[in-house]
Chain A
């Protein structure tokens, strides 16, 4: 029973892949790619699920898959046109199918009403004129239905063959033949020129590596006409049979103009996994064949157990070809000549065509994947982190001794740093994964949310292969889900509204991932109505989130939706607006060291931009001194550093001041004041200014007391070890063993922005 369970697990794993293929194919169809291959792939996915489910007796799944498949078959044969509406229906059907799979797996229950309605809809699409039929169709019935379209062709072929068979049966009856050795020898000698005997003994490894004897035989058939003789004598009784072990062997007679090298090339990919013997001429060798004949046994190539000889026509062979069947005496003596006429009925083109499709499925050799316990990698990453810290400490000590940078020791240290960095990059690359795993769950979400809210939405995805650290990926799902829901529920208008506004009734939601200056950026945008700023502003005031007299820029109003307790939905909808708003998203993003922002254009839509570090492990930073504390400013945020001249600093308001940088003014922010290290700012001209750029492109000039230099630091999470602190992204351990805080540049900029223009009380770190 355990074995069966294990098989079931495999089946469900395959189902996951097949469902993903199905969805991918349908989405491709939606984008107008409805060529035969795509439609076939979609059909196959459903068909495979049905087939597997049938083997396990998963009735409801089989029933639904069958109805689904019937429609797809009609689409495939162009009986039903693949209109955009139909594809939308098919996509919804794929969701119901996924539910059936989950239900069969014991995860959740299928809504029978939904499933039955969907099935009825599919049936109606398949045959609009048919009277609605009851949904129930047992497995057997399903299979019988299946036989109609798929098996029709061979049935005809075989009926024809059967007739021929009756005629030929007499001629092929077992009759003792008188064979003279001379004749035999002469025939053999004549045939030896371009006849080869290939003995194939697959080992279990051949199958285990996803290779296939059938494929080898097909490949051989490309070289010339083949006759395969199966030796099934080694196959044990069914109950003792290891389903994954190789028992059967084949002896193939091949007629070809090609040489031995060409024949060997067929077996190139199974080298070592298959015992191979290639001899020129008939049988193992002519002498052996003759000796066998002389001894009155079955021919060497055709042993006693279930045996048959088949003639597979090479692509060029037609029925009228002069050398079918009876060229070799061995074949005539074989016990199952029945095969010959049937074989000739086989469609000539079938062999090469089938060979072509099968080839694709065989993975190239040498592609191996190692599965590693993630804990081991995490440990490795920790250790590399320690190595980086240790290397930094060493460098600092050496620096303290005043050793010349050109000395061997200093140069050796530089090399060590280089190596450390390379090791670090390599270790990080191990954990990097494409965001695809998260993205592929989203199309269904969009469909569901759209149907729940009565909106029409199409998801466009971009950059699914962008790689990011595994720890980041795992925590991306929730924010993206929420942002997408939000985009459809609040962003997109209803189809009627869109029509009235002169837009396509179907809204487009775009989900994109890209790398930007050492971070991963996820963008969720919609082409909806954009943020209603007036309403957002008034709600924020009504809820006491901001003071009424505060003048805000458009951008600042947009970002009000991230404030805790903000929700614009007039009524709580099923989809979003259950009290968990964008502030939750923002917090979870910040916990990852990320930032989230929104830009919106009335009538044109909104874009949420989520920016996260590629890794949560290391960071390049500038080490600065502020009010006696050592801080690290992420290098990615720093545009330049400068020492301001008195004439460049201009006061603004009661306490604020700006810095003139070239042709623009940039607000001056004293980091010590903002973080609460000191109560009054020293004149900016006494310190150093770091010109930084926030994620949204806004600039600010951060004032620090001194710069110590640039360093790579290992990030130690503050949230995990303490709690989140506004303005601080994380902490690190410096070369001298001291803890330094890593500045969250965006937070520092927005902290200042949010504060009304009055003296700031140092409440941030001191609080709690």
Chain B
């Protein structure tokens, strides 16, 4: 299990590093820490969705833990929370 801490701003500049960060962790179960996120943009949303699909294909666990308010709110705005969050909100309780 590796932890990937998402930066505060997931904008245009962050999408490349985010993809690279996921590729580096490919093959391991990953826990994405979304507690710092203040801004989530469309590009990084795509990366997150693609990563989740990739992890599902690999049969590895992919979870988003402790998402910040902004992260949850924006994911919802994008209509993507079902795809990203619904099954994985376990981190929130902690």
Interface of A toward B, CB cutoff 8 Å: 3-4, 7, 10-11, 14, 44, 47-48, 51-52, 54-56, 139-140, 142-144, 146-147, 150-151, 153-155, 157-159, 162, 202, 207-208, 210, 212-214, 217-218, 221, 227-230, 232, 235-239, 241, 243-244, 246-248, 250, 306-310, 312, 336, 338-339, 342-343, 346-347, 350-351, 354, 358, 361
When the two chains form their complex, are residues A214 and B74 in contact, meaning their CB atoms are under 8 A apart? yes
Q: What 0/1 readout, one digit per residue, does chain B (16-32) give for beta carbons within 8 Å of chain A?
A: 11111111001000000
Residues of A within 8 A of B69 (CB): 150-151, 153-154, 157, 347, 350
When the two chains form their complex, are residues B81 and A307 in contact, meaning their CB atoms are under 8 A apart? no
When the two chains form their complex, are residues A306 and B33 in contact, meaning their CB atoms are under 8 A apart? no
When the two chains form their complex, are residues B11 and A235 in contact, meaning their CB atoms are under 8 A apart? no
Q: A212-B41, A236-B50, A336-B86 are in contact. Are A229 and B8 (CB under 8 A)?
A: no
When the two chains form their complex, are residues A214 and B21 in contact, meaning their CB atoms are under 8 A apart? no
A361 to B11, CA, bound (A): 11
A674 to B41, CA, bound (A): 71
Total A-B residue contacts, Cβ distance less than 8 Å: 218
Q: A151-B66, A244-B16 are in contact. Are A309 and B79 (CB under 8 A)?
A: yes
Q: A44-B8, A52-B7 are in contact. Are A230 and B80 (CB under 8 A)?
A: yes
When the two chains form their complex, are residues B79 and A244 in contact, meaning their CB atoms are under 8 A apart? no
Q: What 0/1 readout, one digit per residue, does chain B (72-88) give for beta carbons within 8 Å of chain A?
A: 11101111111100100
The residue of chain A having its C-beta at the shortest distance from the C-beta of B16 within the complex is A243
Residues of A within 8 A of B83 (CB): 230, 232, 306-308
When the two chains form their complex, are residues A11 and B17 in contact, meaning their CB atoms are under 8 A apart? yes
Interface of B toward A, CB cutoff 8 Å: 3, 5-9, 11-13, 15-23, 26, 33, 35-36, 38-43, 45-47, 49-54, 57, 66-74, 76-83, 86, 89, 92-94
6 cross-chain pairs, A with B, having the tightest CB-CB distances, nearest first: A308-B82, A51-B7, A306-B83, A154-B69, A336-B82, A228-B79
Residues of A within 8 A of B15 (CB): 243-244
When the two chains form their complex, are residues B81 and A310 in contact, meaning their CB atoms are under 8 A apart? yes
When the two chains form their complex, are residues B49 and A7 in contact, meaning their CB atoms are under 8 A apart? no
When the two chains form their complex, are residues B79 and A230 in contact, meaning their CB atoms are under 8 A apart? yes
A247 to B46, CA, bound (A): 7
When the two chains form their complex, are residues B33 and A10 in contact, meaning their CB atoms are under 8 A apart? no
When the two chains form their complex, are residues A238 and B33 in contact, meaning their CB atoms are under 8 A apart? no
Q: A248-B46, A338-B86, A342-B76 are in contact. Are A213 and B21 (CB under 8 A)?
A: no
A52 to B42, CA, bound (A): 19
Residues of A within 8 A of B54 (CB): 237-239
A158 to B22, CA, bound (A): 26
The residue of chain B having its C-beta at the shortest distance from the C-beta of A336 within the complex is B82
Q: A235-B50, A241-B19, A241-B47 are in contact. Are A339 and B12 (CB under 8 A)?
A: no
When the two chains form their complex, are residues A354 and B46 in contact, meaning their CB atoms are under 8 A apart? no
When the two chains form their complex, are residues B92 and A7 in contact, meaning their CB atoms are under 8 A apart? no
Residues of B within 8 A of A358 (CB): 39
Residues of B within 8 A of A213 (CB): 41-42, 78
When the two chains form their complex, are residues B13 and A214 in contact, meaning their CB atoms are under 8 A apart? no
Q: Which of A14, A306, A361 contacts B53 (CB 8 A)?
A: A306
When the two chains form their complex, are residues B53 and A214 in contact, meaning their CB atoms are under 8 A apart? no
Residues of A within 8 A of B53 (CB): 235, 237-238, 306
When the two chains form their complex, are residues B76 and A47 in contact, meaning their CB atoms are under 8 A apart? no
When the two chains form their complex, are residues A47 and B43 in contact, meaning their CB atoms are under 8 A apart? no
Q: A3-B20, A232-B49, A312-B76 are in contact. Are A55 and B81 (CB under 8 A)?
A: no
**How many Å from the CB of A245 to the closest CB on chain B?**
8
Q: A202-B42, A212-B41, A235-B49 are in contact. Are A55 and B89 (CB under 8 A)?
A: no
Residues of A within 8 A of B43 (CB): 207, 243-244, 246
The residue of chain B having its C-beta at the shortest distance from the C-beta of A212 within the complex is B41
Residues of A within 8 A of B57 (CB): 237
When the two chains form their complex, are residues B35 and A151 in contact, meaning their CB atoms are under 8 A apart? yes
Residues of B within 8 A of A239 (CB): 23, 54
Q: A212-B11, A238-B54 are in contact. Are A146 and B36 (CB under 8 A)?
A: yes
Residues of B within 8 A of A154 (CB): 67-69, 71-73, 92
